[in-house]
Structures are given as structure tokens and as C-alpha cells.
Amino acid sequence: MLKLIVKTKNKKYPIVIGENILKKINSFFKSYVPNCKKIALIVDNNVPNKITNNIRKSLKNYQILLIKIHVSEKKKSFKTIESLLNKILKNNFNRNDCVIALGGGILGDISGLTASLLKRGIRFINIPTTLLAQVDSSIGGKTAVNLNLGKNLIGTFHQPDLVIADILTLKSLPKREMICGYAEILKHALILDKKFFNWLNKKGKEIINLSNKNSIQKAIFLSCKIKSKIVQKDEKEKNLRQILNFGHTFGHAFEATKKFSKKLNHGESVLLGIICAIKFSLKKKEELDLILDHYSNLNLPYKIKNFFKKKDIPRLIKFMKSDKKNYDKNIKLVLINQIGKVAKPKSYSEIKIKKFLLAMLD
Ligand SMILES: NC(=O)c1ccc[n+]([C@@H]2O[C@H](COP(=O)([O-])OP(=O)(O)OC[C@H]3O[C@@H](n4cnc5c(N)ncnc54)[C@H](O)[C@@H]3O)[C@@H](O)[C@H]2O)c1
């Protein structure tokens, strides 16, 4: 079992990573969630019942309120939060009690927000069950719901008390979802760790195919280490945390332009976004080729032209301009100077980005 401690201004909590570690959940609870009597176990409907039942059995000494949710971006709404708050409050939870999220990033964002609002904040345990949630969304305490005006516009920062990433939960995950998580692993390596990127060049296939437990555990550990290092320095995303947005300014515009259709999911949009960001930033052809070869070896989507046409550019620009990083009419981008060396985020004019997209779609 691998363990990392995240230290933010007001909280210190562990991330534990391993295979079949959920069987130890009762002892984790005794150590990290003392005096808890009631648990709201909020579960993504697609998580196999066996996993949920084993957790319930291990935590049989606690009073468990089980709530299952069929997740979708539409479920990331105030309506869902209100319903969760009502169900939990009817059972008289107090601040020593806790909410457990058992699911992917959507379930984690909703459950975290619920925990942060209940009595102005009760304990929160995250058990991420998608690769994306294990390497990214379960760390850092961001919670969110969507509005018609945009994704993740409403939320809080509420750090968990414990994160348990058990790679056994990934067994039932579709390959497309594994690729989604891989996009964030690759992002972490490209911004801060060339050695990690070189290692991914050798181990990427094993990670995506979940065929070597040591490789997958190491990839999750190194990703969590990079993300937690950044979160510790800039919990509320005032400056440094923005670098985690590498590939996402283009990526978010790609998914929004496609109206969040299943034809191009979040991870695929980020992978295309990373391609744009490296082509925009890297001057050295050898480095660019290294990344393009990585995409080609792993069969990752890289051809923007396969998804967008020149007529989509005005919409892409509109979404890029509404990005949370912007404070004026320009578009702020996170770029890299070389593999493993992120640059300070910088703003570019709409005209410059338009020209770049035109060239990409030529
Ligand atoms: N809070 C943050 O810091 C942060 C960071 C990145 C992304 N996010 C959010 O995370 C969400 C994306 O997360 P995601 O990629 O995990 O998507 P997701 O939560 O939609 O899960 C992907 C799919 O996998 C299913 N699933 C989950 N666990 C499974 C399992 N073990 N076996 C089989 N199927 C399973 C889900 O039901 C869903 O259909 C977005 O809403 C995004 O905004 C949040």
C-alpha cells in the first residue's frame, strides 16, 4: 500500500493507494474518522454492488444511510444537492458523522459539496472508482455543481478527511474511461516531471489496459504527488494551481462546442487540448515529436480535424474567452517551455488564437 499525506492550511489528510485495500476500511475509519457514528454512503449506480456490499459489511458497526445515484453531468445540480441534504438531515447527522463518496468525479463533486454544506461542513471520505477520480478529482477539495450558464460554476473548497484509491474498483471501468484518467496522468507528467513522462512512454499501455498492478499504482501515486504538491502551495487556485489547467482551456472549449456529447468525452477533449497546447508552445521539434509518438503508440486521439471544422472556430473562441482564468478580453493559456517544465500562464489575443486554430484545422 502506498500512502501520501496532503497538508493544506487547515487540514492534513492521507491518500492511500493499493489493491484490495478497501477490506481495511474499518481500521482506516478508526484512525482517521474517530467518533463517527453515522455514515451517508453515496454510491454511483455503475459501481458493482459487490464493492458497495463489502464496504457495508466492513463498516457494520456504523449506522449507514445508503444513497445510490445514476450519475450524469445533469445530476451535478442544486436539485440533487437539496435532495441529498434532506435525506441526510432527516437522519440527524452531526459534525462528527461523515459522507462517503463511492464513485467517479461527478459523484465525488456532488458528495463533497453536500458534505461541505451540511451544518457548514461535516467529514468527507472520498473513495474514487474511476482512474480520473483517483489521479485527479479526489485530491484538492474542489466540489461543484453545474448551472445552465456553464460547468462547475458553483462550488466550495472542502478537503476530504481521507482518500482511498483501490485499483480493484477500476476492473469494471470501460476502456474509454481509463483513457480519460490517462489524459490527466499525462498532463501531470508534461507540466512537471520529464522522468515521469519517459516512464509513461514505457508503461502507458499497461496503465490503460490495467495489465500491471505495479505500474497503475505507481502512476496514481506519482500523479497524486504532483497534484497534492500544487494544492498544498495554492489551495484556492489563486495562481500556481492554474497550471493544472494545462490542455484544459482548449479542452473545455472542445467539449462545450460539442455540447458535452458522448461523441467526445472530457478526457478525449483534454487529450486534444494538450495537442493544441504543445503545438502552440513547443519550439523544439524533437520534443513535439516525442509527445506525438506517445499519442500514436497508445492510439490516443490527436487529430483535431477529425472532430472540428473551421466553421466551429467562433464557438471555440467564445468558450475559451469565458474561461475562469481570464480577467480581460484576452485568453489565458497554460503552456510548457519543454516537457516537464510548465511556463507561467500568459494571455494571448483572440486574433492570435483564431490564427492558430485556423492553421490546426487547415
Ligand atoms: N473536483 C475536481 O478537482 C475535479 C477535477 C477533475 C474533474 N472533475 C469532475 O469530474 C467529473 C468527471 O469525472 P469522471 O471522469 O470520473 O466521470 P464520471 O464520474 O462521469 O464517471 C465516468 C463513468 O464511469 C462510471 N463509473 C464510475 N465508477 C465505475 C466503476 N468502478 N466501474 C464502472 N463504471 C464506473 C460512472 O457511472 C460514469 O458513467 C466531471 O464532472 C469533472 O468536472 C472534478
* Ligand 1 centroid from CA 277, angstroms: 24
Looking at the domain assignment, is residue 6 inside a domain? yes
Residue 165 Cβ < 6 Å to ligand 1: no
* Ligand 1 centroid from CA 183, angstroms: 13
Range of the domain at 297: 207-213+219-360
Q: Is 258 left (phi over 0), alpha (psi -120 to 50) or beta?
A: alpha
- Is the domain of 127 the same as that of 257? no
Taking only Cα atoms into account, the Rg of the chain, rounded to an integer number of angstroms, comes to 20
- Is the domain of 225 the same as that of 348? yes
pLDDT of res. 210? 96
Looking at the domain assignment, is residue 60 inside a domain? yes
Closest CA relative to residue 189, chosen from 174, 173, 207: 207
* Ligand 1 centroid from CA 226, angstroms: 20
Look at the alpha carbons of 127, 131, 134, 139 in this order and tell me if their dihedral is positive or negative. negative
Give helix then strand counts, H and E, for the chain: 13, 13
- Is the domain of 100 the same as that of 229? no
- Is the domain of 50 the same as that of 137? yes
- Is the domain of 167 the same as that of 241? no
pLDDT of res. 284? 82
Task: Map grid coordinates 451517508 to a residue.
Answer: 40
* Ligand 1 centroid from CA 131, angstroms: 8
Residue 252 Cβ < 6 Å to ligand 1: no
- Is the domain of 233 the same as that of 349? yes
Q: Is 353 left (phi over 0), alpha (psi -120 to 50) or beta?
A: alpha
User: Position 78: which residue type?
Assistant: F
User: Position 36: which residue type?
Assistant: C
Looking at the domain assignment, is residue 184 inside a domain? no
- Is the domain of 270 the same as that of 164? no
Q: How far is CA 80 from CA 73, 87, 118, in A?
A: 11, 11, 14
* Ligand 1 centroid from CA 103, angstroms: 7
Residue 326's CATH number: 1.20.1090.10
pLDDT of res. 330? 94
Looking at the domain assignment, is residue 308 inside a domain? yes
pLDDT of res. 16? 98
DSSP 136: I
Percentages (nearest 5) of helix, strand, coil residues in the chain: 55, 20, 30
- Is the domain of 247 the same as that of 128? no
Residues 6+ apart with CB under 8 A from 62: 29, 36, 37, 38, 39
Looking at the domain assignment, is residue 186 inside a domain? no
Pocket test residue of 74, 76, 130 for ligand 1, highest count of atoms within 8 A of CB: 130
Residue 47 Cβ < 6 Å to ligand 1: yes
- Is the domain of 351 the same as that of 239? yes
Q: Which atom of ligand 1 is nearest to the CA of 71?
A: 37
Looking at the domain assignment, is residue 194 inside a domain? no
Distance CA 116, CA 119 (A): 8
Task: Assess contact for 275 and 265: CB atoms under 8 A.
Answer: no
Residue 128's CATH number: 3.40.50.1970
- Is the domain of 25 the same as that of 156? yes
> Which residues are bridge partners to 100 per DSSP?
41, 125
* Ligand 1 centroid from CA 360, angstroms: 29
Residue 158 Cβ < 6 Å to ligand 1: no
- Is the domain of 233 the same as that of 129? no
Q: Which atom of ligand 1 is nearest to the CA of 73?
A: 41
Give how far the C-alpha of residue 200 lies from the chain's centroid of Cα atoms, to the nearest Å: 19
Distance CA 16, CA 207 (A): 18
Looking at the domain assignment, is residue 190 inside a domain? no
- Is the domain of 231 the same as that of 163? no
Distance CA 334, CA 332 (A): 7
Domain boundary among 148, 172, 196: 172
Predicted TM-score of the model (pTM): 0.95
* Ligand 1 centroid from CA 32, angstroms: 25
pLDDT of res. 324? 80
For the chain, the domain total comes to: 2
Maximal C-alpha separation, the chain: 63
Task: Assess contact for 210 and 174: CB atoms under 8 A.
Answer: no
pLDDT of res. 273? 97
Distance CA 242, CA 165 (A): 24
Q: Which atom of ligand 1 is nearest to the CA of 172?
A: 32
How does pLDDT run along the chain (362 residues), one tens digit per residue? 999 999 998 899 999 999 999 999 999 999 999 999 999 999 999 999 999 999 999 999 999 999 999 999 899 999 999 999 999 999 999 999 999 999 999 999 999 999 999 999 999 999 999 999 999 999 999 999 998 877 888 999 999 999 999 999 999 999 999 999 999 999 999 999 999 999 999 999 999 999 999 999 999 999 999 999 999 998 888 888 999 999 999 999 999 999 888 889 889 999 999 999 999 988 788 999 999 999 999 999 999 999 999 999 999 999 999 888 888 889 999 999 999 999 999 999 999 999 999 999 98
Looking at the domain assignment, is residue 197 inside a domain? no
Residue 71 Cβ < 6 Å to ligand 1: yes
